[in-house]
Amino acid sequence: MSEAVETLDGWHVLHDFRRVDWDVWTAWTDRERRDALEAFQALWADWAAVDRARSGSFGAYQVVGHKADLLLLHFRPTLGELVDVKFRLDKTPMGRVLRPASSYLSIVELSKYLAQGDADPATNPYLKARLEPAVPDKQAVCFYPMSKRRQGADNWYMLDRETRARLMRSHGTIGRRYHDRVIQIISGSQGLDDWEWGVTLFADTALDFKKLVYEMRFDEASARYADFGPFYVGTRVDFGDVERLLAV
C-alpha cells in the first residue's frame, strides 16, 4: 500500500453560497425589509468581531454569474462554531431571503510532503498563520473544489511517496511565481464533502486567477492526476454593499 502523507490541520472552513430570493424580498413591506436588514447587520457585526478578535475569520463576496449571489466565507476553530454560524443566519428573517445555493465544508491543511525544519504550529508562527488564516485583504476571490484522480494508470494514490513529493514540488514552483499577486488557502475535505480539497484564491484582479490556473494545467500533477469541480468567482463586499445590492 502506498504511504499516506500526514497533514498539519487548522481551522474549519465553510464556504456558504447564497442566492437572493427576490420574490420573497420584494413581497415584503419596507418595514419588514428594514427589520430584516437590521437583524442581518447585527449578525454581520458579530462575524466581524470574531475576525477582529482572531478567534476566526470572515469575508463576504458578491459572486459573478448564475451559480450564487453571495459567498459568506467563515473560518472557525471548531465544527460546532460553523454549525452555529449557519443556523444563526437561517433563523433570522434574512434566512428566508438568502437561500442556500451551495456550500463547502473543509479544514485548512498543509501537507507534510515538503515540510522542513520546525513543523509544529505551536512554536512556528508562520505555520500557525497559515493554518489559522485571516481572510486576505484582496478584492477578488476564486473558489473551486478538486480531487486527485484514481483511474487506471493515473491513480495518484498508488504512486510512491517520493514520486508524489517530486510532482508537488514542481506544482508548488508555479504557485510561488504568483506569490506576490495571489494568496492561496488549501483546505482538506476528505470525508467532509464531495471533493477531496477546496482551493480558495485571493487577488486584486481575476486575471491573476486565469493566468495561474491555466499555467498549472500544464503541470503533470494537474494535467494527469487532478479533477476539478465548479469555479466560483466574486468581488469583496461590506455590509453597505449588500444593502445596495438589495435595494428595491
Per DSSP, the three-state class of 120 is: coil
- The answer to whether 140 and 206 are in contact (CB under 8 A) is yes
- The answer to whether 6 and 70 are in contact (CB under 8 A) is no
Cα angle at 212 between 207 and 218, to 5 degrees? 135
113 is catalytic: no
How far apart are the C-alpha atoms of 38 and 11, rounded to whole Å? 29
Burial of 111 (0-12, 13-18, 19+ CB in 10 A): middle
**Distances in Å between the alpha carbon of 212 and those of 190, 206, 207?**
25, 10, 9
All cell numbers assigned to 239:
455590509
**Site of grid cell 465548479:** 230
The distance of Cα 137 from the centroid of its chain, to the nearest Å, equals 14
Catalytic residue among 61, 144, 178, 232: 144
Q: What are phi and psi of 147, to 5 degrees?
A: -135, 160
How far apart are the C-alpha atoms of 75 and 27, rounded to whole Å? 34
DSSP 16: E
B/e letters for 14-23, b = 16+ CB within 10 Å, e = fewer, are bbbbbbbeee
Residues annotated catalytic, as ranges = 144
